[in-house]
C-alpha cells in the first residue's frame, strides 16, 4: 500500500539507524512490526494479570510426560 505521511526527517533518520533497514520503507516496516510485537506482548501480559492461568487439580509435569510418551 502506498502511503503519504509527513514524518520529521530526524525521526526517519533515527528509525533507519536503529532498525538497520536498507531504505526508508524497509526501516519503517521493521519499526512498525517491532511496535506491534511490543503492543501484543503488553496486551497478553495484562490479560494474564487479570486472568492468571490455572492448572487442573492434580496436574504434574511427571503425569504429562507419561501421557506424551504414551505410557
Number of domains in the chain: 1
- Cα→Cα distances 25→11, 17, 18, 56, 65, Å: 14, 13, 14, 48, 47
Q: What is the pLDDT of residue 35?
A: 98
Residue 42 falls within a domain, yes or no?
yes
Residue 47 falls within a domain, yes or no?
yes
Residue 63 falls within a domain, yes or no?
yes
In this predicted structure, the answer to whether residue 71 has a pLDDT above a threshold of 70 is: no
Taking residue 27's Cβ as centre, other Cβ atoms within 10 Å add up to 20
Which domain range does residue 13 map to? Answer: 9-68
pLDDT band at 23 (very low <50, low <70, confident <90, very high): very high
Average pLDDT, the chain: 93
Asked if 30 and 38 touch (Cβ cutoff 8 Å), the reply is: no
pLDDT band at 64 (very low <50, low <70, confident <90, very high): confident
Instruction: Please give the model's pTM, rounded to 2 decimal places.
Output: 0.70
Residue 2 falls within a domain, yes or no?
no
Query: Burial, 33: exposed, middle or buried (Cβ in 10 Å; 0-12, 13-18, 19+)?
Result: exposed
- Phi then psi for 54, rounded to 5 degrees? -120, 130
Amino acid at each position: 500500500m502506498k502511503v503519504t505521511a509527513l514524518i520529521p526527517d530526524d525521526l526517519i533518520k533515527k528509525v533507519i539507524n536503529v532498525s538497520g533497514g536498507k531504505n526508508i520503507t524497509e526501516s519503517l516496516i521493521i519499526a512498525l512490526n517491532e511496535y506491534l510485537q511490543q503492543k501484543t506482548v503488553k496486551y497478553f501480559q495484562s490479560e494474564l494479570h487479570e486472568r492468571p492461568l490455572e492448572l487442573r487439580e492434580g496436574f504434574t509435569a511427571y503425569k504429562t510426560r507419561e501421557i506424551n510418551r504414551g505410557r
